[in-house]
């Protein structure tokens, strides 16, 4: 394979990987969930295990995507302002001290959509193209 063709192939692959790493994600709940919005602080507290109810007092079940997935990284960096390494360290400390368990983890956007749509108390995140009539995007203020 000519060197120029090989180099352009690597450049294309790198561009695709970087584009995927910056995938935008939105926070979603079931259409049956009455919550209209959350503050960033509430979302942070839910995903760090410090809050186990929505603002209306209903219980909340956060759902996470697998580590190192583009959506996982984008969610924690954008909404929580933390790196995946910081999140892992946070949960390791809480688990070791017996003070908490991390959110339920599922494989991908499709699994989040399935779980959240079937559980009115669940909250998760997906790429915008995965939102369907079963899910509602929650604005984070």
| Residue 25 near residue 130, CB atoms below 8 Å | no
Give the domain ranges of the chain.
Answer: 24-137
The answer on pLDDT for 8 being more than 50 is no
CATH superfamily, domain at 24-137? Periplasmic binding protein-like II (3.40.190.10)
Pick the closest to residue 125 from 8, 137, 133, 134 (CA basis).
Answer: 137
Q: What is the pLDDT of residues 91-102, one digit of tens each?
A: 999 998 888 899
The answer on pLDDT for 15 being more than 60 is no
pTM: 0.82
The answer on pLDDT for 5 being more than 70 is no
Q: Which residue has the tokens 């559980």?
A: 119
Q: What is the pLDDT of residues 103-136, one digit of tens each?
A: 999 999 999 999 999 999 999 999 999 999 999 9
Maximum CA pair distance of the chain? 63
Pick the closest to residue 66 from 22, 110, 29, 27 (CA basis).
Answer: 110
The mean pLDDT value for 13-31 works out to 66
pLDDT at 6: 45
């Amino acid at each position: 394979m000519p060197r120029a063709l090989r180099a352009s192939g690597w450049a294309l692959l790198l561009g695709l990987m970087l584009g995927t790493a910056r995938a935008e994600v939105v926070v979603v709940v079931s259409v049956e969930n009455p919550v209209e919005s959350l503050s960033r602080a509430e979302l942070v507290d839910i995903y760090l295990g410090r809050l186990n109810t929505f603002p209306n007092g209903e219980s909340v079940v956060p759902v996470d995507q697998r580590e190192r997935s583009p959506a996982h990284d984008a969610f924690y960096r954008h909404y929580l302002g933390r790196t995946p390494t910081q999140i892992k360290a946070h949960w390791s400390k809480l688990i070791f001290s017996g003070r908490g368990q991390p959110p339920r983890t599922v494989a991908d956007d499709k699994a989040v959509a399935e779980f959240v749509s079937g559980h009115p108390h669940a909250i998760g995140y997906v790429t915008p193209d995965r939102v369907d009539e079963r899910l509602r995007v929650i604005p984070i203020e």
